[in-house]
Chains A and B, each alone.
Chain A
């Protein structure tokens, strides 16, 4: 396969598509699929066959606004329909060429206007099981260009120039990481893609793996060329069976097209990828634990250094990046580092995909330029808090992050700004809470999560999270004292400063951030025996106030 052959495939797909009068793109992502998108697609195909119009019905990945699902987009008119069911098929087909079906049309202009799509550029436009669809949208062009026109150093340089930072949450500069692995000695090196999306409440990586799997494979192959690795592992959660199936198909197709394997594009570069299944352990998102898991062991972290970039999988230099990081690579190589660096804020470049969920009108996936205000994401893109409730906090970063209160909504989203207010960027979960959520209970929820997910290797995390959970439970059921509160604060600092890996070091964040911004709720529970949100089941009687 070379660039000319690639262009030939792309052209023939475009020609094929041009033969149709209309394209009906049906979102088949989990949210839509669970509401009958498959039946809808079949109905559209059946009705399309008898309508006399030349109609292409295409299965696509997540289009974004899941709360309007199942979704259909009609091209070339770019009409978006929401809440579509199989019995709407006839109506939609007969409207083609006439006025669109008004009752099904979604008014989501505001939702989309503020978004910039880089990672999700193909979402809703390609069939994830067809490699040629991906090629028709400039897929694998970046890989072949890198192989034929760039040196490995040149690729690393371009990624560095782009200012891309790790999208798994830590925000380590990607170019720097690649440079370290490239410089590490030895013939055998590995590329690992972290698809162990453990943050409960986040599903960006799942959607990319299911909706645009080739984008990740291409990113990994480019990384392999840049750092001198010929073998990649894709570590995917077992809870994502569709992602595993799509990636398996994608790998097979890529091999068939000669885009994976030996002597790619007539060069001496070889690269292939193997899938490894996770088995439900949050700690495996930590890179040394993930490596242990690929080696078939319990996922317990190791002290760093040595960093995986020097000594990783089976002791070899290993490059580990998150799914979304790899998904950014091909567009950067195609369009240049400067193009990417022009988006975003000063120290956080590009875009970020967020899974917007919780008490918000438009739930789903959004991709926004870094630096955008939280308020714009929540009030404009998300459509605000529904049902007449008031906004209380937004949680980012999952169990490692924190809750950000209403008065900070004008904060621009970047790695540094979020860290400063006691949260983290995290992998991209963004959960909105309203006045019906109790912040003490939320803190307890996350601490319980970390307690169950602690691998047990180091004491601060294993015992510390358990004691934090006990104290929080006492406060929640009304039997806590102010001494418990100060003990909790002390314990948070100890666990944060002395744990071995990221899980323990960040586990106190949900408690610390809620204590910082919602201390009155803790005091309410302890002194007034009252949960204003009405979530906690307070058992102890109120103290008689003198």
Chain B
């Protein structure tokens, strides 16, 4: 039986070492696929074809399975995020308190649809399925930071601050 040698790192970018570290910690076991993709996303901001290929080869997982997992779970993004991200929570409590209006407002203000980034790469517009801050609905995350009881005016103000930066 031949022993398995993981493929070389795609480049000398230090972030690959972090990704490799996660896989090594898990003994390059196949079940570490989701863990590893999490590390890729937190290091690079998103998953691209090269990274999915590298992880699949390293863990000896069929490319179809790796791509399947990357597209199945909403948390993984296959596109690079903008400089800033506005995430609008669309959980039930936020919906009851008017999150849909905040979303429509943001789409109009930024001129992009949900899940897209403005042409200048400044702002991405995303939604989250409940961040668990329901008692302060409606909630948005400005670059990951939770802001509760968000009004239309506050939201527009934040978006304007980002777009003129």
Q: Which residues of A contact B (CB under 8 A)?
A: 30-31, 33-35, 66-67, 197-203, 206-207, 238-240, 276-282, 293-299, 355-359, 363-365, 395, 398, 429, 431, 433, 437, 442, 445-446, 449, 453, 455
Expressed in whole angstroms, the minimum distance between the Cβ of B22 and any Cβ of chain A is 11
> Taking the complex as formed, is B69 at the interface, i.e. its CB lies under 8 A from any CB of chain A?
yes
Question: What's the Cα separation between A398 and B132 when bound, in Å?
Answer: 13
Q: Residues of A contacting B31 with CB < 8 Å?
A: 294-296
Q: Residues of B contacting A355 with CB < 8 Å?
A: 134-135
Q: Residues of B contacting A297 with CB < 8 Å?
A: 33, 65, 69
> Taking the complex as formed, is B15 at the interface, i.e. its CB lies under 8 A from any CB of chain A?
no
Q: Residues of A contacting B128 with CB < 8 Å?
A: 239
Look across to chain B and name the residue whose beta carbon is closest to the beta carbon of A293.
B34
Structural contact, B97 and A239, CB atoms closer than 8 A: no
| B interface residues, tally (CB under 8 Å) | 38
Expressed in whole angstroms, the minimum distance between the Cβ of B149 and any Cβ of chain A is 9
Structural contact, B134 and A239, CB atoms closer than 8 A: no
Structural contact, B129 and A282, CB atoms closer than 8 A: yes
Supposing A34-B147, A364-B135 touch, asked if A201 and B32 sit within 8 A by C-beta, the answer is: no
Q: Residues of B contacting A358 with CB < 8 Å?
A: 92-93, 96-97, 137
> Taking the complex as formed, is B131 at the interface, i.e. its CB lies under 8 A from any CB of chain A?
yes
Supposing A279-B34, A280-B75, A293-B34 touch, asked if A437 and B96 sit within 8 A by C-beta, the answer is: yes
Expressed in whole angstroms, the minimum distance between the Cβ of A168 and any Cβ of chain B is 16
Residue in A31, A239, A293, A442 whose CB lies within 8 Å of B136: A31
Structural contact, A277 and B95, CB atoms closer than 8 A: no
Q: Residues of A contacting B95 with CB < 8 Å?
A: 200, 445
Structural contact, B30 and A281, CB atoms closer than 8 A: no
Question: What's the Cα separation between A207 and B135 when bound, in Å?
Answer: 12
Would you mind naming 23 contact pairs between A and B with Cβ atoms under 8 Å apart? A34-B146, A35-B148, A197-B132, A200-B91, A200-B93, A200-B130, A239-B129, A278-B75, A279-B37, A279-B38, A279-B74, A280-B73, A281-B72, A295-B30, A299-B72, A355-B134, A355-B135, A358-B97, A359-B96, A363-B136, A364-B135, A395-B92, A431-B93
Across the A-B interface, the 6 shortest Cβ-Cβ residue pairs: A200-B91, A201-B92, A66-B135, A279-B73, A280-B75, A203-B132
Expressed in whole angstroms, the minimum distance between the Cβ of B83 and any Cβ of chain A is 21
> Taking the complex as formed, is B68 at the interface, i.e. its CB lies under 8 A from any CB of chain A?
yes
Structural contact, A431 and B96, CB atoms closer than 8 A: yes
Expressed in whole angstroms, the minimum distance between the Cβ of B128 and any Cβ of chain A is 6
Q: Residues of A contacting B97 with CB < 8 Å?
A: 358-359
Expressed in whole angstroms, the minimum distance between the Cβ of B134 and any Cβ of chain A is 4
Residue in B35, B90, B136 whose CB lies within 8 Å of A276: B35
Structural contact, B133 and A296, CB atoms closer than 8 A: no
Structural contact, B34 and A31, CB atoms closer than 8 A: no
